[in-house]
Chain A
Amino acid sequence: MSDKKVFKKTDKVVSREIENEVILLPLCKTSKDMNYIYTLNETAALVWDLIDGSRTFKDIKEKIMSEYEIEDAPLTKELNSLIEDLKSINAIK
């Protein structure tokens, strides 16, 4: 993932914060997708919060590193994986 890449939340998902976690309810078009929800843990919820259409991948990474003791390489890997997951449910683009 390019460090300069910027992500934006779509209008295809409804989010709710519960006890430091975030619940995502994706909109769906067929019965096979309905009733699925996704839970973001505290760190993923922070990433979700930071995705605002202006922060870059690098900005988000640096913010996480300032709040949690984590090395660049494993964080990049985790962040890539989370971004791909959020893209796959059309929550971000």
Chain B
Amino acid sequence: MKCNNYFSVAGINILVVSSKQYQINEKSDWRYQNFLLKKEPKKIDLKIDLRIKEDYVRYNPEILFETRREKVNPKGKALCRNRLRELRMRQEINEQRKKKEDYLGSELGWRISEIGNKYLLEGGAAGNFQAYFDKKFQKIKIDVISDKNEWKLADVFTGFLQLFLIYYLSYTKQGIVVHSTAIKDKPNKGKGYLFAGVSGAGKSTTSKIWDKNSPGVIILNDDRIILRKIKNKFYIYSTPWHGDFSDYLKNSTEHASLDKLFFIYHKKTNKAEKVPHREFFNLFYQSLFVPFWDKENLNFVSEFMMELMEKVPCYKFGFKNNKKIIEYVRNI
């Protein structure tokens, strides 16, 4: 028996074909519910075959790119987060984790490799999966590694899809993934604002301010935004991958045109200034998730950035944590 599961992220319709239905996980699935389609869409952009396997196929591939867990900051937030993660992981020590660490080690976040004429995407801390795809995205397979012979939405969304779309979007010249928060200002003609920044710059803070103080405004996401170019216009799309703030995700699968782009940082007073073109790359590139290992894709990313800086007004925006930023942003 085959189960067809339909998802849609950033206007990309995805069919996941599996041998059994996914297991409901009430604690985490709510964030994906809005991205599930109840019926078959007219057009499928990606078809993914999902299998459940007990163990990893062990390769010694040519690694194109890999991420490793950062070292623990001895003070502050990072330590707290890390401790929580370590505690959770200790509770989850099982055969499955041993299998993964035996093959991929304990430090790996994820990696992409080339085997023959295919790519192999493997999750370390990012998830229990091995995925294979060809360069034309016609045959995409994901093996979810599970002792319990089951799969969950998180197996596809959290690990695999988030990483796969980085590659898919740029390879097909459709867009990029940006470390940012974004707002659809519905009361103000539905204008779209993107606030990019590194961790700690104020992305979740910005989302909370708009969410609390501006009825009708839609938060697209507070951490990951998909930025697409369609017919020479730029659009920002909601994703399921949130940051510290997530209340908005219950009703957000929307998108908006991109009308203003801000590079945010905390400041004592609100102040925005136009970004000179020669500074734009320095500011924006550090907020991107793109295929850093692939020249053709980086070429696309650089062209995409050039066009973006020509067409969309970009500002450096030092902001104070209060609701005055809403009118400030609208009036720029």
Contacts and interface: CB of A to CB of B under 8 A. Distances in A.
A28 B65 contact: yes
A24 to B, nearest CB: 10
Given A11-B295, A21-B278, A27-B295, A35 B285 contact: yes
| Size category, B interface | 20 to 34
B152 interface: no
Interface residues of A, number: 20
Nearest to B284: A37
A45 to B, nearest CB: 11
Interface in B44-89: 63-68
Interface stretch (B30-38, B228-236, B257-265, B286-294): B286-294
Contacts of B294: 27
B281 A37 contact: yes
Nearest to B290: A34
Contacts of B66: 29-31
**Residue among A25, A28, A37 with max Cβ neighbours from chain B (10 Å):** A25
Interface string A17-49: 011010101011111111101010000000000
A4 interface: no
A38 B276 CA distance: 16
A14 B299 contact: yes
**Residue among A11, A30, A32 with max Cβ neighbours from chain B (10 Å):** A30
B68 A37 contact: no
A20 to B, nearest CB: 9
Contacts of B301: 25
Contact of B292 (A11, A16, A28): A28
B67 A14 contact: no
A31 B281 contact: no
Given A18-B278, A19-B278, A27 B302 contact: no
A5 to B, nearest CB: 25
B298 interface: yes
B30 to A, nearest CB: 29
B109 interface: yes
A39 B65 contact: no
Interface in B234-267: none
Contacts of A37: 281-282, 285
A14 B293 contact: no
Contacts of A18: 277-278, 280-281, 306
A33 B292 CA distance: 9
A35 B286 CA distance: 5
A14 B299 CA distance: 6
B278 A39 contact: yes
Q: Which 4 A/B pairs are nearest by Cβ-Cβ distance? A: A31-B67, A14-B298, A34-B292, A35-B286
Given A11-B295, A29-B293, 16 more contacts: A14-B298, A14-B302, A16-B306, A18-B281, A19-B276, A21-B278, A23-B281, A23-B302, A25-B301, A27-B295, A29-B65, A31-B67, A33-B292, A34-B292, A35-B285, A37-B281
